[in-house]
Amino acid sequence: MTPNRTSDDQHPSGAAGGNQRRAALRDPIARYGRMLEIRAVEEEVFRLFATGDIHGSTHLAEGQEALAVGLASVIRPDDVVCATYRGHAVALALGMTPLSVISEILGRADGPVGGVGGSMHMSDMEVGLLPTFAIVGAGLPVATGAAYAFQVRAEDRIAVSISGDGSTNIGAFHESLNLAAIWKLPVLFVIDHNMYGEYSRWNVTTPLEDLYHRADSYGIRSMMLDGMDIDAVRRGLGEAVDYVRSNNGPMLIEAKTYRFSGHSRADTGPYRPEGELEHWRERDPVTVTRRLLLSQGLATPTALDQLEEQIRGEVADAVSEAQRMQPAGPAAMFAHVWAEPLYSADGGR
Amino acid sequence: MTPNRTSDDQHPSGAAGGNQRRAALRDPIARYGRMLEIRAVEEEVFRLFATGDIHGSTHLAEGQEALAVGLASVIRPDDVVCATYRGHAVALALGMTPLSVISEILGRADGPVGGVGGSMHMSDMEVGLLPTFAIVGAGLPVATGAAYAFQVRAEDRIAVSISGDGSTNIGAFHESLNLAAIWKLPVLFVIDHNMYGEYSRWNVTTPLEDLYHRADSYGIRSMMLDGMDIDAVRRGLGEAVDYVRSNNGPMLIEAKTYRFSGHSRADTGPYRPEGELEHWRERDPVTVTRRLLLSQGLATPTALDQLEEQIRGEVADAVSEAQRMQPAGPAAMFAHVWAEPLYSADGGR
Amino acid sequence: MTRMRMNQAIVAAIADEMRTDPTVVMFGEDVAAAGGPFKTSVGLLEEFGPMRVRDTPISEMAFTGAGVGSAAMGLRPIVEIMFMEFLGVALDQLVTQAAKLHYLSRGALSVPLTVRASVGPGTGFACQHSQTLENWVTSTPGLVVVSPSGPQTAYGLLRSAIQHQDPVIVLEPRAYYGVRGEVHTGPDAMIPLGRAQIARPGTAATVVCLGRTTAVALQAADRLAEIGYDIEIIDLLTLVPWDVAAVAQSVRRTGRLVVVEDAPLTGGWGGDIVSRIVTEEFGALVAAPFRICTPDVPVPYGKDLEKRFAPQPDEVGRQIRSYLETGEVPAHWWTREGGMTA
Amino acid sequence: MTRMRMNQAIVAAIADEMRTDPTVVMFGEDVAAAGGPFKTSVGLLEEFGPMRVRDTPISEMAFTGAGVGSAAMGLRPIVEIMFMEFLGVALDQLVTQAAKLHYLSRGALSVPLTVRASVGPGTGFACQHSQTLENWVTSTPGLVVVSPSGPQTAYGLLRSAIQHQDPVIVLEPRAYYGVRGEVHTGPDAMIPLGRAQIARPGTAATVVCLGRTTAVALQAADRLAEIGYDIEIIDLLTLVPWDVAAVAQSVRRTGRLVVVEDAPLTGGWGGDIVSRIVTEEFGALVAAPFRICTPDVPVPYGKDLEKRFAPQPDEVGRQIRSYLETGEVPAHWWTREGGMTA
Ligand SMILES: Cc1ncc(C[n+]2csc(CCOP(=O)(O)OP(=O)(O)O)c2C)c(N)n1
Ligand SMILES: Cc1ncc(C[n+]2csc(CCOP(=O)(O)OP(=O)(O)O)c2C)c(N)n1
Ligand SMILES: [Mg+2]
Ligand SMILES: [Mg+2]
């Protein structure tokens, strides 16, 4: 038997116990807290980018927290997830710590990818997150393949692919859904319809608004849900996860969300129709959830304020700690190129 | 302005006037004759393959003649067609002569592609046939692009892509339909559903039987028709061509046909369900059309017998003539690599 | 002459071609309304309208293919592939279709398509957005491959590419989009395809560069000149078909050949240069030719790592100096610094 | 030892691996029920069942990616790409995903995926089904590239590829699927990746071959031996990372290097061999190294054309003889025969 993990090299920044962090999501307050945490991390990342501490690019998911946390709360620790370059939210939701995420974005030697991955390549197999995919659509075939492995071994696991509305226009989407359907694989395709692909509103690139209809081309069951409402997400995804896990074949879920952030870096979103952002901000999953927790009597305003303060403090501490960590040195780029190096891979003179 | 034809080098084997051959298809007897001709050519090609005169592979379209001829009869001479490696039928239908098709398959210097293309790469821009595509799905984006050129220049032309049922599972299909829809391009996608992709029956690879439903994912109008019935083909494709030419955007037509031949070469089709071939042979477009012409009083049995004899004679003559033609010599491989050779393309020592 | 960034020079080249030839069109992801992710099409939609400048869905296969089809029908499309890696989902249309349509139509069709793709390291985009990947397109008869080294060559090569009758892929070093330089525009500024330029004349060694590495080698040359080594730098500009004659001529004068490239040790384009020159000019070489390239590892993310990964002026200077002083091929930095092979 | 065709040796290798390791699975177009378009999986469905041997839709991106995902989850998938060209619609999954997952997971995942693709000319399939295209995959750190030269090496390399922990692409010369040879099977017959083999020892020149060209050069060598020229033939077997030490050692003995390849003059893999060896063994070379390759044209269809296009024993013999007699690099046939450049 092949081990699917060959690591000898543990990254300390992930040590805080991803699975405990995942298990915590059973509690609605913890779910709210995780959304707050994601928001706080994204804000810090945005700031670090502005100050020049972050190199390259970074794609934030502000506004999309309910979907990430909802998803993480309904799958099992041994399920696996293929997500995208817009991956910090999913990573944190699944259980990676703020320190882990931030240290990788800062290119630290002890980051979860050793500083060679960065913002677009979050990964931690301890929480089931494959290295996030920076090529649009590339995660769908891989999730399909992961599901095939579970099917072959008759394991009770599912694979989840989560990708954007824009990814439904690429060939890999079509081919993966078809293959998953004909092989009846335990894979759940989640489409995070945040209304934009880069600077293009969905209608510039896509002739239909409700993307879940595309599942019909493959005889795949599908559903649309409100991605701003964590309870709706949990209900919808929960059902879908059960369906997929019960060997009914794949399913596709479209979640309507909204990307509060620009596409990347300093994009301020000049292309948004007037009032659209404001309209969606009213449905901000963080504030909506807070209101709900209060109205359901599950928490007091003071408790939630304290929680927020605590989380912001933890995230700020994580940033400071990550900044104190060593940047990856040149040797890092030579690590893990090969799992089984051949003698002829000699590097030259 | 850029000329879209840069040829200096006319192939004599195409000289017989492709456009007259196309125009002839206004007449139902000529359409029947063309189907007979295609059948006769495919039989000769099969024979030449068996005797070792043909090198490589060849993909016949016996059973699919009505679709090819019906299509050719409803489009205009300046429309363009992107077809596949299974392209002899479409080539002949559009107006290429038996001599032209056979000489290329035999690798003759004066073949329409100079003997460097062969069976999978029929081409004659005189009749609007782009070099046929040997990569599944590759013709769809190209047809989409051709249609874009017509749109930009406000020309009254359309582009047609014709490809197999199997091609609807490849990414290029999905992307092309989406792009054509969002750009509202004058392109007609024809799916020749001959029930097989290589040795796989459609149901092994595709979770739904009626492929025209896939157009719904792009908001594209679509229709299914009986590809064994040339009149149904002409009616359906005729409407579709009008729709597309009238700037309504793309359309997709699924034609149900059946591949009497094996996939290629010596494939005898051991994978066919029992009785399937026989069932479809009863709907052979050649015999069905003959019956119809007779029952409609458009021809007498003797006249049609004579026609068949004449065509078989012509095709046999074309084979003899092609066999007498010079095989392409080594210099042929260096022709037309570059339209505008650079001095640095020097070929080396 | 105007001072502009490389991305502005690209806009200028496209605009100048669109003004003179109504068949020139452009499309790609976010090239129209947003002016391009790298701002290489700012203002084109406004000037030329949505019929000629279009945003596409995330469908590289379809829109690259649309470039092929529209070029075959007489347009001169410019297709933007934001990052070279994205050709990994569309290579078929360029290599197996575009480059073969002229051949397979016996010359009846030609494909005057220009594909522009950003390439290379230096911007912190990590290993799926930082490769150079020239090798995906170099052994494709029928396809021209060029790569500019800065604003002026970006302008001149792109205009020539657009006017060229065969498909051309332009590999733009993305680290330089923001780099400024004096740019001479107009038809006289066109750079003929297939011709290398001597970016700096010299006698001590022939140093062949492409794209990002030309400026790197030029900086190294200045420092080498201070200590008396006068190297000749050839900016290849066209990678396929490359200017063998120009490099051979230089090597016959200098007797020494060095290639500086962003591609990896194994399979990088420099192998083609060294191999061909050594075959044709063996007698002229007075020392072993060698490549200054990147190690056989995926492009790393961290800022210092990425900088170390790709040739920089210091390292290029050090290598060439050592070579000229000793006559021996110097060790790669990763060997010299010890035990770093993957 | 059993006499078998190369496609039978491939079946045997897969079957032997499937028997010993339940995680080995195989999929591709028509590989299951039909036993493979090239009959490289005959009987596998019957023996191992539909869970492990599957037909796929015509969806190279999805099923290559399914290979990546299932490998990452601990299977050892074998993916068949019927013709190398089809990777043009799926290259992303191999180069940009499979080869990077180990790196990007800090070693937590590995991708023991084997992709098999048929390559090269010789079967009359014309220019979209006859390319070798090694260069699509050669500059990809993290991806092993191998190519068998006949039944025995097909068996031995494939077993090693399947057992290897990193992704491996096996480039199978399709002209040889039907070629017969004695094949020793079993674990002892495994051929280590990364090691070249001396297919024929000799002293006059080192001739490096890969895939289809090894047998071509061996035939040429027999005729050369008759006239007193005793050449050494190295069958590279692994193209990435290739066995520099073996070639260098041979060149140190012979002083001469020739590469015989099915790839084109521009960008073919031979450039990497010549370049690296000339850099490392300049002093050992007594004459210019050179490549016997294909011209820079799309692979032509016609029988005689296709034969002329690719190196044949006669031509290889003629080139090497002239080289050994004169010490000069001989002209390519298309130059010698005059005026045939594209
Ligand atoms: C194949 C490919 N094409 C283009 C890109 C560039 N790109 C990165 S993100 C993006 C937009 C994706 O939109 P969507 O799928 O909606 O996801 P979102 O960014 O909104 O989460 C594009 C075009 C890419 N990474 N890969
Ligand atoms: C991308 C790609 N994958 C696989 C093939 C091999 N192949 C050639 S024809 C064929 C079957 C195509 O079936 P379909 O689209 O139904 O067309 P038909 O042959 O029935 O006309 C396949 C798989 C190919 N040419 N291109
Ligand atoms: Mg989006
Ligand atoms: Mg079919």
Which ranges in chain C are annotated with CATH 3.40.50.920? 197-336
Q: Quick one: what percent of chain D has pLDDT higher than 70?
A: 99
Q: Is residue C108 within 8 Å of B123, Cβ to Cβ?
A: yes
Residues of chain A with pLDDT under 50: 1-8, 15
What is the predicted pLDDT for the residue at C299? 98
- pLDDT reported for residue C113: 99
Across the interface, of B171, B205, B220, the residue whose CB is closest to A182 is: B205
CATH topology (fold) of C197-336 = Rossmann fold (3.40.50)
Active site residues of C: 129
C-alpha A198 to ligand 1 mean position (Å): 6
pTM: 0.97
Chain C residues close to B342, C-beta within 8 Å: 144, 193-194, 238, 241
Contact partners, residue B306, CB within 8 Å, separation at least 6: none
Best interface-test mutation with D: which of A8, A130, A173 has the largest number of D CBs within 10 A?
A130
Closest approach of C297 to chain B, Cα-based (Å): 30
pLDDT at A3: 36
Torsion of CA A111, A113, A117, A121, to 10 degrees: -110
Lowest-confidence range among B265-274, C322-331, D155-164, D219-228? Answer: B265-274
**H helix intervals, D148-298:** 151-163, 212-226, 244-254, 270-280
pLDDT tens string B61-109: 999 999 999 999 999 999 999 999 999 999 999 999 999 999 999 999 9
Pocket flag, ligand 2, residue D34 (CB < 6 Å): no
Mean pLDDT of B140-163: 98
pLDDT of residue D270: 98
In the CATH scheme, what is the code of domain C2-189?
3.40.50.970
Q: Which residues of D46-73 are buried (b: 16+ CB within 10 A; e: fewer)?
A: eebeeebbbbbbbbbbbbbbbbbbbbbb
Residues of A in contact with D102 (CB under 8 A): 6, 336-339
Three-state secondary-structure class, residue A141: helix
**Is residue A170 within 8 angstroms of chain C, CB to CB?**
yes
Residues 6+ apart with CB under 8 A from B17: B95
Q: What's the token pair of residue B217?
A: 């994912």
Give the CA count within 13 Å in the CB-facing half-sphere of D85. 26
Weakest-pLDDT range from A262-266, D1-5, D45-49, D171-175: A262-266
According to the model, what pLDDT value does residue C342 have? 65
For the segment D72-112, what is each residue's pLDDT rounded down to a tens digit?
A: 999 999 999 999 999 999 999 999 999 999 999 999 999 99
Name the packing angle between helices B65-74 and B285-295 (round to 10°): 60
Q: What is the mean pLDDT of chain A?
A: 94
Ligand 1 site, residue A135, Cβ cutoff 6 A: yes
Which residue has the least CA distance to atom 17 on ligand 1?
A164
Average pLDDT score, chain C: 97
What's the confidence (pLDDT) of residue A7? 42
User: Residues C253-295: pLDDT tens digits?
Assistant: 999 999 999 999 999 999 999 999 999 999 999 999 999 999 9
Question: Under a CB-based contact definition with an 8 Å cutoff, are residues B95 and B21 in contact?
Answer: yes
Between D144 and A17, the more confident residue is D144
pLDDT computed for residue D339 by the predictor: 67
pLDDT, position B19: 86
The residues of chain D that CATH labels 3.40.50.970 are: 2-189
For residue A112, say if its preceding peptide bond is cis, omega within 30 degrees of 0.
Answer: no
Of A332, A309, A347, A196, nearest in space to A261 by CA: A196
Q: Are D237 and D148 in contact (CB under 8 A)?
A: yes
Of the partner residues B173, B204, B219, the one whose CB lies closest to the CB of residue A207: B219
pLDDT band at B6 (very low <50, low <70, confident <90, very high): very low
